[in-house]
Amino acid sequence: MIPANSDDVRIGVYVCQCGSNIGSVVDCEGVAAWAGENLPHVAVARENKFMCSSLGQEMIEKDIRELGLNRVVVAACSPHLHEATFRGACQRAGLNPFLFDMVSIREQVSWVNTDKGIATEKAKALISGGVRRVAHNEPLDPITVKIDPNVLVVGGGIAGIQAALEIADAGYHVYLVEREPSLGGHMAQFDKTFPTLDCSACILTPKMFTAGNHKNITLLTYSEVEKVDGYIGNFTVRIRQKARKLNTATCTGCGLCEEKCPKKVIDDVFEAGLGYRKAIYRPFPQAVPKYPVIDTENCTYFQRGTCKVCQKFCPTGAIDFGQEDEVLTVNVGNIILATGFDLFDCRRIPQYGYGRLANVFTSLEFERLSNAAGPTGGKVVLRDGVSVPQTVCIVHCAGSRDRNYNKYCSAICCMQSLKFAHLVKERTGARVYNCYIDIRTPAKAYDEFYQHIIEEGIIFVRGKVAEVTDAVRLAGEEGKLIVQVEDTLVGKQRRIPVDMVILSAGLEPRYDAKEVGKLFGISCSMDGWFIERHPKLDPVATMTDGIFIAGSCQGPKDIPAAVAQGAAAAARVQGLISRREITLEPVRAQVDEAKCSGCRICNTMCPFNAISFRADPTRPGGGVTEINPALCQGCGTCVAACPAGAIRGTHFTDEQIMAQIEGVLLRNPAREHAVEKEAVYA
């Protein structure tokens, strides 16, 4: 290797204009000329309209070959965008890719400044840091790791089912973990799905069944992931399978226990509180797997010690009150999270009356009400269970596009509200109002669906509903719910008396999304959705290699989009599996045994258990520290902790960082300190 202070270091500096993104704010030509004249070891400095274009990359390759460059710095966008691109160019020209460094003068300079002079000076300082750092870069060899072909999918909604099936069909093994007793997610609760109005169960049940019986899928329902260790290709996952209190090997799923159980419980999950289930139950008849679970918190036997009716009636003796949770550990190479969404709690908008006014319903309640397998057998009736509504108002955007609740659009509620309008009309013949802020129907066949609903005679009122009340003010309002809304198209306040109000509640991140994210090492956006690696170009990958996201855990979306993401995540994982091994950044900690004093200060620093201590009585400290490169993730915490300077953090060595500090502060040995200051502070 060529030492950094050697005359043999030859650095190429390339300043990108990024069209006008950088060029209109930073004087790129001036910066390049300045770098060429003032920065040490710079053999060539150029600027270009688009460094990432093939012309830009070829320029670097040509310079490496013809000018004998052995270090390269590109000042352009963020390294998170194009570091890989330029490393590739270096490699093609025979230069080790770790002898390259990138300086962000777009995200950190031209996009956040307007003053040309100031921006240009900041760009110079950052480039100076990059140039001085790169002089100390060392050639490194990437680390290769094998990819375990097994995959974990967390969440058995439509997105997770799709992902699991794609991977299992490709011949790889999938562990599909679902928290509830059955697969299905929200889709299992619906009667019809927009825009085609095909029956939800008819299209979902076969997929659930296939996933539940696939030879390549280990289905773990009523289960949750407790711990995740490792990294891409090599995760170790601990899963707790909650005790169903029955033996699935003997249970035939006949349902006799459910029928005979004397304990009725309000079903807050599947029936959205509208119906009942038993203490031993399956959420719905087509549940996959077919086995019930005993809800011990409500079971009379578990609470009072007597009952055992289910055990008496079970023809196969499958009930096992003493059964314990099972904890299993599996190894997988990749993980897909498809944990879905929670419905916005409409009680948070007190003026809409949900929870106080009986005939205000949430969207999920209406799904159950209109479902042929639901508590009313699909009859749309009021809370009394018998009266058929004559007038119904559907309130769009409940909790969405609202500064006080969620600012974002929940994406599915317009179409879902139009679907409801159709179902109410079809089932009851009622007069139906839809109060909306905007109608958003951008996907394939969606606007046609809207036009069709208009033709059905649904009344559309453009305005955000202010209040739902039962306080009568005018004749004809007695015994009704009154919807107060400003009709913004005619510019007047309206009071619409109706029998039933349906609130199209927004979609929210799962209540525990943050904890789940933390468990798998990924982050959530400000709104709480899992963050994708890139909002446009990498929608199902995350910042953590080997962890993918699919469906509505990433943001509100409808079934087609959730399915597409499930398939996309599966394709990404299959791509990794078929490569068999991948390369990782060679950023690792290394101990210089000669320098280690055996103080053991670093020994408590590593959360990945990469650091161990080898006793050696011949050494002054009684031993020496060792770091396992396969376990080290390269954070560098132990490097900073070692008082003897015995640990090196590759690609982030003290020399590189110190040089970068000097560089960004523009200390130039060739010039006087005072001159330097002028350049910085000017």
Partner 1 sequence: MLDKVAEQVKPFDPVIVGFTCNWCSYRAADSAGMARIKYAPNVRLIRLMCSGRWDPQFVLKAFAEGADGVLISGCHPGDCHYLEQNYKTIRRYELLKQTLASLGIEDGRVKLVWASAAEGAILAEEIDHMVAEVRALGPLNWGGNHGA
Ligand X SMILES: Cc1cc2nc3c(=O)[nH]c(=O)nc-3n(C[C@H](O)[C@H](O)[C@H](O)COP(=O)(O)OP(=O)(O)OC[C@H]3O[C@@H](n4cnc5c(N)ncnc54)[C@H](O)[C@@H]3O)c2cc1C
- Spatial CB neighbours of 306, under 8 Å, sequence gap ≥ 6: 300
What is the rounded CA–CA span in Å between residue 575 and residue 559? 24
Binding positions for ligand SF4, rule: CB under 6 A = 589, 591, 596-602, 605-606, 608, 610-611, 625, 627, 632-638, 641-642, 644, 646-647
Of the two residues 203 and 635, which places its CB atom closer to ligand SF4 in the complex? 635
Fill in the per-residue mask, 556 to 595: x = in contact with ligand X (CB under 6 A), - = not in contact.
-xxxx-x---------------------------------
Scan for tokens 């419905």, then name that residue. Answer: 343
The item of ligand X, partner 1, ligand SF4, none sharing an interface with residue 186, based on CB under 5 to 8 Å by kind, is: ligand X
* Contact mark string toward ligand X, 123..162, x via CB under 6 A: -------------------------------xxxxxxx--
Q: Hey, which bits of 506-610 come out as E strands?
A: 507-509, 547-549, 581-584, 589-591
Exposure of 623 in the CB half-sphere (CA atoms within 13 A): 10
Closer CB to ligand SF4, 91 or 603, in the complex: 603
> Cα separation of 61 and 65, whole Å?
6
From ligand X, ligand SF4, partner 1, none, which one binds at residue 382 (CB under 5 to 8 Å depending on kind)? none
Shortest distance, CB of residue 514 to ligand SF4, whole angstroms?
24
Where is 90: in which H helix or E strand? helix 79-92
Q: How many residues bind ligand X (CB under 6 A)?
A: 38
Region of 485 (left: φ > 0; alpha: ψ -120 to 50; beta: rest) is beta
Q: Decide: is 501 part of the binding site for ligand X (CB under 6 A).
A: no
> Between residues 108 and 637, which has the closer beta carbon with respect to ligand SF4?
637
Nearest distance from C-beta of residue 275 to ligand X, angstroms = 16
Site track 461-500 with ligand X (rule: CB under 6 A), x = hit? ----------------------------------------
Q: Could you give the dihedral angle defined by the CA atoms of residues 457, 458, 461 and 466, in that order, rounded to the nearest 10 degrees?
A: 150
Q: What is the 3-state secondary structure (H, E, C) of 5-47?
A: CCCCCCEEEEEECCCCCCCCCCCHHHHHHHHHHHCCCEEEEEE
Give min distance, CB of 630 to ligand SF4, in A.
Answer: 11
Binding mask 610-649 for partner 1 (x = CB under 8 A): -----------------------xxxxx-xxx-------x
Among 151, 165, 119, CA closest to 23? 119
Per CB under 6 A, does 552 bind ligand X?
yes
For residues 156 and 221, the answer to whether their CB atoms sit within 8 Å is: yes
Strand partners of residue 192: 199
Beta-bridge mates of residue 612: 626
H-helix or E-strand containing 364?
A: helix 363-369
171 or 535: CB nearest ligand X: 535
Helices 28-38 and 116-135 meet at what angle, rounded to 10? 40
546 is a contact residue toward partner 1 (CB under 8 A):
no
Q: How many residues does the chain have?
A: 682
Q: Which is nearer to ligand X, 276 or 511 (CB)?
A: 511
How many residues sit close enough to partner 1 to count as binding (CB under 8 A)?
57
What is the nearest approach in angstroms of ligand SF4 to the Cβ of residue 640? Answer: 9
Burial class (CB in 10 A: 0-12, 13-18, 19+), 453: buried
What is d(CA 211, CA 185) in angstroms, rounded to the nearest whole number? 14
Contacted by 452, from ligand SF4, ligand X, partner 1, none: CB < 5 to 8 Å by type: none
Q: Does 341 interact with ligand X (rule: CB under 6 A)?
A: yes
Q: Is 230 in the site for partner 1 (CB under 8 A)?
A: no
Say if residues 196 and 243 touch (Cβ distance below 8 Å): no
CB of 440 to partner 1, least distance (A): 23
Q: Which of residues 133 and 480 has its CB atom nearest to partner 1 in the complex? A: 133
* Residue 179 binding result from ligand SF4, ligand X, partner 1, none, given CB thresholds of 5 to 8 Å by partner type: ligand X
Name the residues that contact ligand X, by CB under 6 A. Answer: 154-160, 177-180, 185-187, 190, 193-194, 224, 338-341, 343, 363-364, 367, 412, 416, 419, 510, 516, 551-552, 557-560, 562
